[in-house]
Structure 1
């Protein structure tokens, strides 16, 4: 029978030290990893791309949706008039609305292909595509019948919200980190900080009433004066350097958090963009 000897204190200490070194390299090395800046680039592009996707798709669907609402409103408010105007409106909907929907869906296929490229090359996401259509007729049919089309469409619409959240996280986190790191440059400037534009008053009040008797606690007014500074203020260079050191640590934590957001974005892209249709130029775009 094989006997196991307990590890010596020196071995345990060496293992713990090695783990601490690995953890410290992982934490402090985030600023030196190339993937971190790929992630930041992806998050930075998310907001303008999301706005562009939303504008294109909303514009493309506005014409058929507007025509459909016009037909429905006319049918409910003037049922007699629909007998005369129904055929012309249906022809307009057919001539203008259907091509507009097909063009918008085709544009969504190309935009999802762009998103696959960005998620794959910047985030390292693995997003497979479905089999390419074998002809123009099949491509048109799959624009409407393929589930991947609607998954990609939902992703493109959600990209507007995701992009706004990413932009907000980037601006707030980097602005906060910069204020801390650059403390030696402005540590005597009392204008640097978070100011309240208008006076804020908060009046808590508690009233309890039961069987004819009442307990009423007199309100106490809590106020923040106009222009009051709500931030850490230091008035010496050594204290400012300490704030800078704290800011560097905060910046490293921020980079880790943004990497986590990018990782979630990659998983979300894999979930919704997986098995979507390849681009018409798939040999170039999706490779």
Structure 2
């Protein structure tokens, strides 16, 4: 059974504050995070296997031995795409019906091969499989940044006073900028000017550590919403490539 709260039901309008705040409490969110976390290792395997198989098959096709390699590579793409349809339905709530290959309309083996090779489903699946690595790299980067920054800030009250530990925001040197606004008025100039100075901030008290912890909650909440939006994009991409020709909703 697919998880509830399908990503495909997300409105095209901006989410409300309630929707943003409740993201960590939805099962679908963790399905999306799991999908994105798996995208990186799967993407590496898909890309290497597909590129190596196509390269060998095409280069050796003049010796005929390349044709079985090409057939095996494309067959692997079809199998992977079938599995990805199931995963996208379960974890992202994508609307991807089973594709039609039209093999029943071709009686001879040659006609069946041509039907498969000219079917948009095959080439859409190939595009999806090759694009999985790009999706995985982007998802892996966001997940690592969100978890490392968010959890380190969230846990600041647990280690801020440990010997040899420095917690806070540290700059190589203070940053100072002067901001001013001047408005001409007849023969005079009326303006206001103030100086903004940013310096390093080291947390040495429990209230300061708790403030960092609150900031960590905000980072995790923001990160989960970004990942959820990424899951929505992945669901639409899966629908477009793994089920070409499906009527747009």
Larger fraction in strand:
2
Q: Secondary structure at the match of 1:176?
A: helix
Aligned mates of 1:39, 1:141 — CA distance in 2: 37
**SS of equivalent to 1:250:** helix
Q: Which residue of 1 aligns with 2:153?
A: 180
1:66 aligns with 2:39: no
**Partner in structure 1 of residue 40 of structure 2:** 47
Unaligned stretches of 5+ in structure 1? Answer: 1-21, 69-89, 200-229, 277-287
Instruction: Provide TM-score, normalisation by structure 1.
Output: 0.62
Task: Report which of the two structures shows the higher radius of gyration computed on alpha carbons.
Answer: 1
Alignment of 1:89-128 (within 5 A): 90=62, 92=63, 94=64, 96-128=65-97
**Separation in 2, partners of 1:191, 1:103:** 56
- Paired residue for 1:254? 223
CA distance in 2, matches of 1:232, 1:97: 63
Question: Is the CA contact 2:77–2:125 (under 8 Å) kept in the aligned structure 1?
Answer: yes
CA gap of 1:275–1:31, structure 2 versus 1, over 3 A, is same
Structure-2 separation of matches of 1:261 and 1:154: 18
Change (3 A) 1:136 1:156: farther
Change (3 A) 1:166 1:193: farther
CA distance in 2, matches of 1:36, 1:262: 9
Distance in structure 2 (CA, Å) of the matches to 1:130 and 1:275: 8
Deviation of 1:194 after TM superposition, in Å, equals 8.8
Gaps of 5+ in 2: 1-14, 173-198
TM-score, normalising length: structure 2:
0.71
Q: Against the structure 1 CA distance between its residues 174 and 139, is the aligned structure 2 distance closer, same or farther, given a 3 Å change threshold?
A: farther
Q: What per-residue deviation string (whole Å, max 9, x for no partner) do you get for residues 78-128 of structure 1?
A: xxxxxxxxxxxx3x2x1x111111111111111111111111111000012
| CA distance in structure 1 between the partners assigned to 2:226 and 2:49 by the alignment | 31
How far residue 171 of structure 1 moved from its aligned partner, in angstroms, is 0.6
Are 2:50 and 1:57 aligned? Answer: yes
Q: How does 1:150-189 map to 2 (within 5 A)?
A: 150-188=123-161, 189=164
The C-alpha deviation readout for 1:141-195, integer Å capped at 9, x for no partner, is 3332212211110111111111111111101111110111011122245456799
CA-based RMSD of the aligned residues comes to 2.8
- What SS does the corresponding residue of 1:155 show, helix, strand or coil? helix
Deviations 1:180-230 (A, max 9, x none): 10111222454567999xx9xxxxxxxxxxxxxxxxxxxxxxxxxxxxxx9
Distance 1:106 1:194, change over 3 A: farther
